[in-house]
Structure formats: C-alpha cells, structure tokens
Structure 1
Amino acid sequence: MTSTRAPSPAGPGGLRDRGLGRILRGGAVNMAGAVVGAALNLALIVAITRAFSQETAGLLFSATSVFLITAAVANAGAPDGLVYFIARLRVFGRPGGVPALLRLALGPAVLAACLVSVLLVVLARPLADALGPQEAAAYLRLLALFLPFAVLTDSVLAATRAHHDMSVTVLVDKVGRPLAQLGLVAMIALSGSAGFLALAWAGPYLPAAVLAWFWLGRIVRGAEAAPSPGDVSPAVEERSGPGDRQERVTPAEFWSFALPRALGGVAQAGVQRGGVVMVALLHGLTGAAVFTAATRIMVVGQFCTQAVLYTAQPRFAELLAAGEHGSVRALYQAGTSWLVCLNWPLYLSALMFAPEVMRLFGTGYSAGATALVVVCAGQLAASVLGMGDLVLTMTGRTGLNLLNNVMSLLASVVAGVLLVPSHGAAGAAGALVVAVLVRKLLPLWQLRSLVVLHPFSRPVLVATGSALLWFGALPVLLEAVAGPGVPTLIAGVLAGAAGHLCTVWLARGHLEPRR
C-alpha cells in the first residue's frame, strides 16, 4: 500500500532540538487553560460546599467519584493507546493509518462505556444502600446516562493532543465543561433543590463530546491533506521494527498496549477517587465532604501538572520511538523543574496557611486542615519526582505500569483501612500520600536499564530553591511579624508570587537542562 507521508519530526537533530521548545509552547496553551480550569473547579466545589449541606455535598462527591472510577474502567485504555500509536505513526511518516486507528479504538471504548453504564444503573440500588441516603440511587442513575459521553470525550481529546493540538482540550475540557457545571450548579442552588445536582455535574459531558468529535475530524482531514515533502530519516528508519513500518496498527497491537494501561488507569482512579468513597463508607458522608474539600488543592495542582504532561506525552512517545534517550532525560528534567515551579508555590502556600484555606469552604470544614497539610506534603514530594510513570508508559511497558498502579492501589486500601476509621479525612490523606509515592518511585527504578531518570538536576534544584524561598521562608517571616490570618495569607501569596516570577525569569537559563 502506498502511504501518505507527512514531514517527519524525526529528522536529524529534529526531535532533540524541538522537544523542549514544543513542550514549552504547547504547555503555555495548556497552562492558560489550567489556570482558568483550576479556578473554575475550585469555585465549583466552594459553591457546592457553601450552598448545600455536608451530607448532600458528600453524597455528590461520592457519587461522582464512583462515576469517574467506572469511566476509567470503560475507556479500556483507549486515550493512552491513541496517543502512543498516533505519535508512532507520525514519527515514522505514516499518518494515513490514523483514521483506521480511531475506528479501532473508539468503537470498542464507547461500546464498553454503554455496557458499564447499564451495569451502573442496575447496581445503583446496592451502591446506594452502602452509601446510605435513598437519593444516592437517583444520583448514580443520572450519572450513568452520561458515562459514554465522558469516555468519548477523553478518548477524542487524547487523539487531538497526539496531533499536538492542545487548544481543544483547553477550550472544551479545562474551561467549557467546568464553566457549564458551575453555571448549572448555581442555578440549582438558587432554586433550593438538590435533586438535579448530579445532572448539573454530568450533563456538560454531552456537548463536550460533540465539540471534541467535530474538532478531531477537522484535525484528521487537515493532516491527510497536508503536503508530504520528506521521508523518514535514515536514523529513525534503522531503529524501527517491522511493526513500525506498517501503515495500520492491528487490533492485537493496540489492545495489548491499551488494556493493561486501562487496568492501570482504573487502579490510579481508585487511588485518586477511592479515598472519597472509602471515607463515606467508613466515616460517613460528612467526612467524605471534608476530605473532598481538603484534597481540592491537590486537584488544582493536577491541572497544572496536566498542562505539562499533556504536551509532553506525545513528545516522549516520539523521542523514545526514535531512540533519543538523551533528549528523553533532558525533557524529563525540564518538565520536572516546571512542575516544581508551578506546583510548589500552590502546595507550600496551602500547607503554611491550611486553617485559612479550609475556611474558604464554609463552616464545618476546618477539621480538614490536618488532611490538607498531609496532602500538600505528599504532593511536594510527588512533583519533584517528576514524570517517570508517563515515560514508562510511553516505552510501551504498560504491564509494568499496571503493576505499579495496582501496588499503589493496594497500598492506598491497606493504609486507608488502618487509618480512616480512627483519623477520618486525615487518615485518608495519609493513605493517598503513601499510594502516590509508591506510583512515583517505582517507575524511576524500573527505567534504570533504559534511561536513568532522577530529579537531582540543576533545573530542579533552582526551581525548588526559588519556591522554598518565596513560599516557605517568606510566609514564616510574615507570620512572625504580623501573625497568622487571611491578610497575612494574601500578602504572602502576592509577595511570594512576584518574587518567584522574578527569580524564575532571571534564572531561566539555569532551568534549561544539560544534555
């Protein structure tokens, strides 16, 4: 078969020279969306906790956690599979195989989502009995109706990112969907009825899926119509195997990669969202609401993390396919330094002013201050360990990724069973930190025979030093002078942000890795 070849990004020196530049350009788009999306998601949680009782908020948070875990089951690993194989088709100059790949991935994923949706409807009553309130069954059934649209949205957006188009993820997923959720929740709060809260939260997935689908179609048509002046570079062709030279990805190839990643994604979702369900079961819906509020800072930080990861994921796949291990290491160090630059100010500020932050969610949530401190300390460590789990996945070793996520989930469950009954939200936060550290450390050890990755580099040290100075030492000084309180928090964040931005700008040359 004669294939349509697009200009390869893997020409001599191309991947090495353009990897960091592209992650920064794409990351800038994602970062703008991450800032807006994080603010909207935080506003959504604050609106729910302030407008409704802790029991109602805890019920919604528990039900949506079940929804997100089942969505991870239903997507069958299609999003990661699409990024991995589209990146390889592009780097080996074979974009003509992308339409067939999309059909291969999206059809089974959406069908699986429909089946899981039916199963969730059937099991809504037993799950509701476990959670407690009678309204839980109605919440779960409403959420189940939108599960296929959530799975389709995640998979389609992954395919657009594999083509290095980050704008649709920002506009549809980071801004559009949470903005619609916030508006609908505000309308329900004004009406005084909480019966349709689940519909307000899940409903925006339908228009998001439609918009993402049409946007992907435009991208694929544009890629097929693009001129193809060049071929794959000899260096890349020498490293390619027989499977890389095929125009189409076979079902066996795709699903042998995607299904282990799907199971790993389920375990990862269980770690991220299972804590809410575990607290609801072992400590009541009020505890679940407090734990959700305390971990919102972590979710805000994840928006910043995703801004870097979404851009880095296809680049890692391309660099590893081309055998550019030195560039992989450089990209890992640069990405980790930016994760520290972005996330450490957030987590340090929340850790230093935990009681003031928890008051944002309303009365009754101050008990979550200890949980917030624990979560922030764990996320500081997770940020500095970087993107080893992403690199491991993009090497194609989804079996190891699955093992790591299962071990992380087991650590979370064991720690949660031991800590949640006696310590509530703080115990669940400790279990979450244990699980995250397991998932971050194992890939760095497993990758040692392919490419040695570690966070001890000049870019990471510079980023860490700046964050500690402006968001660690400065708040301590301000509290010693002015005492704790919201004014000190505001002054510390504003002064720290200005100093941190200036330091990062002046030290930007030191944030670039040495290859």
Structure 2
Amino acid sequence: MAGSVLAGGTGIAVTWIVARALGPEEAGAFFAATAAFVLVGGLAKLGTATGLVYWPARLRATGQDRLLGACLRAGIPPVVVFSLVLAVVMWLAAPWIAQLTAGESPHVIGRHTTGLRVLAVFVPLQALTDVLLTVTRGYRSMRPTVLLDRVLRSGLQLLAVGAAGVAAMWATASLPVFALAWAAPYLPVVVLAAFATRRAYRTGLDPSATTRSERRRVSRDFWVFTAPRAVAAVAQLALQRVDVLLVAALGGLAPAAVYAVGGRFVVLIQFANQGLSQSVQPRLAEALSTGDHAAAKRLYQTATGWLVLVTWPICLLVIAFAPRYLALFGEGYAAGAPVVLVLAAAMLLATGCGMVDMVLAMAGRTSANLGNVLTALVVTIGLDVLLIPRWGALGAAIGLAGAMVVNNLLPLAQVYRSTRLHPFGRGTLLGALLAVACFGFVVVFPAALVVAVPAYAAGVWLLRGPLTLGAFRRKS
C-alpha cells in the first residue's frame, strides 16, 4: 500500500511538471503518447499478468511444483517476441498516430512523432518488466514489485522528468526529451527484475523431471486460460487510456491535457487497488483452486474494506477541493472541475466493489471477464464518440464513468452467482460509513477538514479490530 501511494504520488508530480513545463498542446501530446505506449505494452503482455500468477499458485497448491518451469517457459518467450514486433509497429505507425491525435495542431505533429518513437524503443522493456515482476508475485513475493516498480521506477521517473523540467527553465521544453526521461527508468528496472525472478524461481525449484506430454499439457492449459485474459487486459487498459487519445483526436490536444490532469487522481486510486489486488491475487487463486470459499470470501471482503478506507477519503476530498486541486497545474486547467466530480463519483462505486475483476479471473471465469471488459469498452467508446465533440473533456469523463459502472456491476453479479462471494463485509461497510461521516461534511464545508482528518484517524484506530488492521503488523 505504501508503495502504491508513493507511485501514485510521483505520477501526480510528474503530471504537474509536464503541465507546467510544456504548453497545453504539447502536454496533451505527451499524455496521448504515453497512453499509446501503455496500450501497446499491455497488448504485448498477452494477458500473462494474470496467467503467471494463477498457474504458479495453482500448481503449488495442488502439489505440482515440478511443472513451474514449464509454466514459465510457456508464458515468457511469447511476450518477448510479440513486444519486439509491436515496438516496430509503433515506430512505423508514429506519424499516423501523431496526425490522428494532433491533426488540429500541425506545429506539434513533428515533435509528437519523435516522442512516440522514443517510447516505442522502450515497449519491450516495459512488457518484460511487468511480466517478470508478475512471476515473483506468483511466488507470493511482493517486495520486488514494490521496490522495483513502485519505488525505483516511479522515483527515477520523477527525478528524470524533474531534471527535464529544470532544464526547460533555460532552454525550450522538448516533448521527446520528456518522453525519454519518463521511459528510461525501465532499463535498469528490467535488469533487476530479471535477477529477482531468477532468485524466486530457484528458491522454489523442484528438480523432478517433466515429460514432453506434461510440458505440452501445461502450455495448452496455460494459454487456454490466458488467451481470453490477453484480450481483456488490453481492453481494460483501453478503458483507462483510450479516452485521452479520443479527446485528442475529437476535441484537440488542449482538452486532452485538461482531461488527463483532471483525472490524474484516478491513477492514485488505481495504484491502491492494484497494490491490494496483487497482494491478494496468489492467495485467492490458491483458496479458490482448493475449494476454500470461506478463505476466499475473507480475503475479498477484508481487502475491499482496506481499499474503501484508503480511497473514499481521497475521492471526497477531490470533490471538495476540485478547483484548488486543478489550479496547481496552471492556468486553463480549472475547466476540468466537472471532470473531477464525475470521475470521483464513479470511483466511489468502483472501489466499493473491490477488486471484483480479479476475483472473477481467479475463479477461472476469464471468458466472462473478457465479455465484461469488452462491453465496458464499447460503452466508453460509444459515449466518447457521442459526447466529446459536444462537451469535450466532460464527455470523456461521462464515458469513462459509464464504463466503470458496467465493469464493476456486471462481474459483481457474476462472482456472486458462481461463487457466492461478495465484497460487502463488516469492514467494507464500516470503512464506507466512517469516510462519509468524516469527509462528507468537507464537501459542503471545506473548513471542516481540520476536524475531519483527526476524527477519521481516531475512528480507524477504534475500529482496527473489525477492519482487520492488525494484519499489517504480521510478518510473512
């Protein structure tokens, strides 16, 4: 959780530096380029972010540790090859992407193209970093993800982009330079992630021999499970990133910058959700693979309570202080206040459902998961195309909010129907009530913040038992 907060905080700081150093149009181009980079990197991973946690956890839980090597060999090499192919495609398609997203700002297209090509070089490093760290999580080791991705990569990005921002005080700010500063930290991180993966694998290595038929069976089962998740993972990333590209293409780069800045707090909440999901994922996979639904329910509800406890105050504070929050990024960004309000309201609903998407996948329902994400993607693209030309950034916010509703309520119903699991335990309800009781007044009376914070801290301490906060004192 601490690593997720740090990564989210550095992401907001990087956004602030870019918004301040580059004009609204070049900042919009930067956000569009990084959105394309994340989308391509997500496609390159082929859904292995789920498969390389689910299958190692399942093999260990069922006493088939000797098949772990075959599982890793089935998942990692295809990602390496496909990421190289996509990097070349992104390099070649950079002029077209720049023309599509910056057509109304022709003076930016050249620098936008260069920035996209700089990022294309780092696509394989991004994909391989995420896959290798996924493997370590499959071995129940969270430290590599926290230390290398959340702390080291995020910290290096902040330092590098900050240095580019300082240099911009004496020279003209350059979009490609900012793109290079943002992507370069993947190089040292991927090397360290490879060492961490090798150590995790060797620690749990079972020297028993495997037959060719066993290896083929593992590879087949791995990709039958993972293939639907590959498409779903890309669609999930598209839900988070395609809106920026659509705003740039349909509304212009300046509205895209306003939208990206206005919704940046969502990234902080997504990091918190991701941090909890990644911690719970291997244990949940083990519990569901052995039929221990009581343990799975306890994990899901406890983690959802923690998520609500952390994220609901953020959403309510962002609603209360939206104009002041946006003013920090410079003139012209205050127009994003309605964007903030719509997305914050949607995030209250989404976090209240917990990591329901991951629970559905760990229950083996990757096909249902794919259908849900594709449905949500159709909703957001449909609303974006309909609303962005008329309302700009606000139209994109409504599209993303609609997708959040679909992508949480549909899997919530499916998880309950198939496993009888739901996130609404005692801790979840207490966390929600405490957040609303303390910070709901701040939305109406901002000055109440001086009372809300200590009251919330006291409430968390008094309710530490029902909230299961004692788990944070235990060492694994």
Q: State the TM-score, normalized to the length of structure 2.
A: 0.92
Does residue 189 of structure 2 align to residue 213 of structure 1?
no
Q: Deviations over 1:199-257 (max 9, x none)?
A: 1111111111111110111111122289x9xxxxxxxxxxxxxxxxx688622111111
Output aligned runs, 1:334-345, within 5 Å.
334-345=302-313
Distance 1:52 1:104 in 2: 43
Equivalent position of 1:451 in the other structure:
419
Q: 2:146 corresponds to which letter in structure 1?
A: V
Distance 2:444 2:194 in 1: 49
Does residue 26 of structure 2 align to residue 66 of structure 1?
no
- What percent identity do the matched residue pairs reach? 39
Asked if the contact 2:225/2:366 (under 8 Å) is kept, the reply is: yes
Does residue 161 of structure 2 align to residue 173 of structure 1?
no
Does residue 225 of structure 2 align to residue 257 of structure 1?
yes
User: Higher mean Cα deviation, 363-372 or 93-102?
Assistant: 93-102
Output aligned runs, 1:198-347, within 5 Å.
198-224=179-205, 250-347=218-315
Asked if the contact 2:67/2:218 (under 8 Å) is kept, the reply is: no
Does residue 81 of structure 2 align to residue 105 of structure 1?
no
Q: How far did residue 298 of structure 1 move?
A: 0.5
Equivalent position of 2:474 in the other structure:
none
Equivalent position of 1:506 in the other structure:
462
Output aligned runs, 1:4-23, within 5 Å.
none
Q: How far did residue 449 of structure 1 move?
A: 3.5
Q: How far did residue 348 of structure 1 move?
A: 0.6
Asked if the contact 1:101/1:249 (under 8 Å) is kept, the reply is: no
Distance 1:223 1:371 in 2: 48
Equivalent position of 1:196 in the other structure:
177
Distance 2:91 2:454 in 1: 50
SS state of the match for residue 361, structure 1? coil
User: Higher mean Cα deviation, 495-504 or 195-204?
Assistant: 495-504
Q: How far did residue 498 of structure 1 move?
A: 2.6
Output aligned runs, 1:385-396, within 5 Å.
385-396=353-364
Q: Deviations over 1:152-184 (max 9, x none)?
A: 011111111111111111111111112111111
Equivalent position of 1:122 in the other structure:
92
Q: Deviations over 1:452-496 (max 9, x none)?
A: 23344322211111100111124534x4xxxxxxxx4xx71x643
Asked if the contact 2:70/2:219 (under 8 Å) is kept, the reply is: no
Distance 1:321 1:148 in 2: 32
The alpha-carbon distance between structure 1 residues 338 and 248, as it changes in their structure 2 partners (threshold 3 A), is: farther
SS state of the match for residue 448, structure 1? helix
RMSD after superposition: 2.0
Q: 2:80 corresponds to which letter in structure 1?
A: V
Asked if the contact 1:97/1:248 (under 8 Å) is kept, the reply is: no
Q: How far did residue 33 of structure 1 move?
A: 0.8
Q: Which runs of 5+ in 2 are unaligned?
A: 103-108, 209-213, 470-476
Output aligned runs, 1:143-182, within 5 Å.
143-182=119-158
Equivalent position of 2:410 in the other structure:
442
Asked if the contact 1:329/1:451 (under 8 Å) is kept, the reply is: no
Q: Deviations over 1:289-333 (max 9, x none)?
A: 110101111001111111211111111100100101122222221
Q: 2:320 corresponds to which letter in structure 1?
A: M
Q: How far did residue 189 of structure 1 move?
A: 2.1
Asked if the contact 2:244/2:259 (under 8 Å) is kept, the reply is: yes
Q: Which runs of 5+ in 1 are unaligned?
A: 1-30, 229-245, 480-487
SS state of the match for residue 298, structure 1? helix
Q: 2:157 corresponds to which letter in structure 1?
A: Q
Q: 2:225 corresponds to which letter in structure 1?
A: F
> Of the candidates 60, 76, 87, which is equivalent to residue 90 of structure 1?
60
Asked if the contact 2:44/2:86 (under 8 Å) is kept, the reply is: yes
Distance 2:338 2:468 in 1: 36
Q: How far did residue 43 of structure 1 move?
A: 0.8
Q: 1:413 corresponds to which letter in structure 2?
A: I
Asked if the contact 1:420/1:428 (under 8 Å) is kept, the reply is: yes
The alpha-carbon distance between structure 1 residues 474 and 141, as it changes in their structure 2 partners (threshold 3 A), is: closer
Number of residue pairs matched by the alignment: 454
Q: How far did residue 450 of structure 1 move?
A: 2.5
Equivalent position of 1:40 in the other structure:
10
Q: 1:498 corresponds to which letter in structure 2?
A: P
SS state of the match for residue 386, structure 1? coil
